[in-house]
Structure 1
Amino acid sequence: MDVRIQQSVVANLSNRPAPVEVGPFVIGMDPTTASPHINYATPHPGAVITAADVTALVAAFRAADRKPRLEYVISCAPGLEALLVAAGFIVEARHTYLVCVPGALTTPPTLDHLKLYEPGTDAERAALIGAQNEAFGGDPVASSADVARLRRQQEAGGVIVMAITDDGTCAGGGGAAPPTGAVSEVAGIAVRGPYRRRGLAGAITAEITRRLFTTGTEITWLEASSEDSWRIYERVGYRPTGERLYIGLG
């Protein structure tokens, strides 16, 4: 399972607008943003990695004026962390990822006064991004680059779901990367403050996952940012499976 998840990360980064291959690594470059949460690297699973490879990776990031940063499944590159730390990288976090497969998904009850559907216009995409940004403590105004990025994700086969109230307000939403190798990452599950504690996060997660399974996806995975979200994901069928590392260089 770890290898399939890591392969999906490699594929996702390779589908960025300007990916860069550096030896055993791929950097998912996106010229429209400097965010280190979008522009990061990951190793090909099972690749032999040396200190010289890490040096070349850092140089590639510097040449692109981006922060050197990686996210990867730890078991797929067991000696990499030591090489990165020796090069000055600092561990940001270790997260357990959770997996759901067809047959394990549990669909929660339908929510009153809330509709789940996929945005079809840029105005709807902007409303969803604004709700996500607000939920995560960011700028509630979506940039045109953010909207274009979400549109490209949909056009490439990704799944996006937003929750709309009876009066047309976007209460939250989330999405999933285009499946590769029948694997897709679910991410960005967000609910605005006034709509929390109603089961909406679980409903959004389940709907995204359901849509993926109906198109032939075999494995969906995600990460939980807190104990509350962990419980939400477990209630709809996700189970802890492996460990991922987040590590960066200042």
Structure 2
Amino acid sequence: MSELTRVDEYLHAVPLSGATGRQIGPFTLFRSTTIWPYYARPVPGAGVTIEAADIERLRDECTALELPLSLEWVVETCPSLGPAAAAAGLKVVEYPLLIMERADFKRFDSTERCEILPASEDVLREGRAVANVAFGDPGTAVGSGGPAERDAKADEQAPEHGQALLERHRAGVTVTAAVYTDEGIVAVGSHQPVGDVSEIVGVGTLPAFRRRGLGAAITSRLAEHAFANGVDLLLLSAQNDAVAAVYERVGFHRIGHAGAAE
């Protein structure tokens, strides 16, 4: 099985830890069973050519179900989807798609404490708040968002949000790592194992703490955990080339592009 095929099949399986799948033409529409929204994906290996009419049928189904129309896919395994989505009026973006096998791993050590988070709702909520601040100011540039903004985001979270994080942690479907300073958690990220494949997601650093190698430290710690627990292929999609370069420091290399449209 090719690396792209393994990645595509993993990306089709991983939503099922928090959603149910419904077939609509060439797509599987994942309907969330948690507090987070999901998306639709083309069925791996179907080999069909996606047309704008297929997007319109999916749009009608999403409207009837009161769901947002959102698509994710591997560009190289379904090259027709991007043009079809654009023709249907959706905004289409592509991101670098990277993988790493066990032999490629290059451990990155940080002077700060970096560890897998425990099964604590409060700690997981703090970690999620770091990600919310980080992705509210995307990129790698140093910014002003720091611990005060993190704490404000944590206070804004609904109670059910923390409970959902804890349930996924206990089920082993999300593993989260964090970097600590004397001001608490300042960088965070997760991996989501399905069998022997996992994806690193949500790696973010408080803007005030960027350019210190913390993103690489988080990625390294997550890779170390994944490879020690039965995973032999890791993947991720990067926001842009600058972010992809951070992941390449620990052994990831590019194999294609992840597409998204909404």
TM-score (norm 1): 0.86
Residue 184 of structure 1, aligned match among 186, 190, 198:
198
1:109 equivalent in structure 2: 109
- The amino acid of 1:170's aligned partner reads I
2:158 equivalent in structure 1: 143
- Report deviation, 1:218: 1.4
SS at match of 1:208: helix
Unpaired segments of 5 or more residues in structure 2?
138-151
Structure 1 residues 185 and 18: CA distance shift in structure 2, 3 A: same
- Report deviation, 1:115: 3.7
Residue 167 of structure 2, aligned match among 152, 156, 168:
152
> 147-156 or 198-207: which moved more?
147-156
Kindly provide the CA deviation profile for residues 103-123 of structure 1, in whole angstroms up to 9, marking residues without a partner as x: 1111112424x2422232100
Kindly provide the CA deviation profile for residues 87-129 of structure 1, in whole angstroms up to 9, marking residues without a partner as x: 33331x11111111101111112424x2422232100111101
Structure 1 residues 223 and 178: CA distance shift in structure 2, 3 A: same
In structure 2, what is the Cα distance between the partners aligned to 1:3 and 1:115? Answer: 32
In structure 1, what is the Cα distance between the partners aligned to 2:182 and 2:204? Answer: 19
- Report deviation, 1:186: 0.5
- The amino acid of 2:23's aligned partner reads E
1:128 equivalent in structure 2: 127
Structure 1 residues 32 and 158: CA distance shift in structure 2, 3 A: closer
1:58-137 maps to which residues of 2 (within 5 A)? Answer: 58-91=59-92, 93-112=93-112, 114-137=113-136
1:247 equivalent in structure 2: 261
Structure 1 residues 27 and 151: CA distance shift in structure 2, 3 A: farther
Q: Which has the higher helix share?
A: 2
8 Å Cα contact 2:216-2:250 kept in structure 1:
yes
Determine whether 1:211 maps to 2:225. yes
SS at match of 1:94: strand
8 Å Cα contact 1:135-1:192 kept in structure 2:
yes
8 Å Cα contact 1:172-1:190 kept in structure 2:
yes
- Backbone CA RMSD of aligned residues: 2.2
SS at match of 1:123: helix
- The amino acid of 1:60's aligned partner reads E
Kindly provide the CA deviation profile for residues 25-70 of structure 1, in whole angstroms up to 9, marking residues without a partner as x: 222222554x6xx421111122135545433322221122122111
- Between the aligned residues of both structures, percent identity stands at 25
> 185-194 or 221-230: which moved more?
221-230
- The amino acid of 2:89's aligned partner reads G
- Report deviation, 1:172: 1.6
2:140 equivalent in structure 1: none
Unpaired segments of 5 or more residues in structure 1?
none
Aligned residues: 241
Structure 1 residues 45 and 115: CA distance shift in structure 2, 3 A: closer
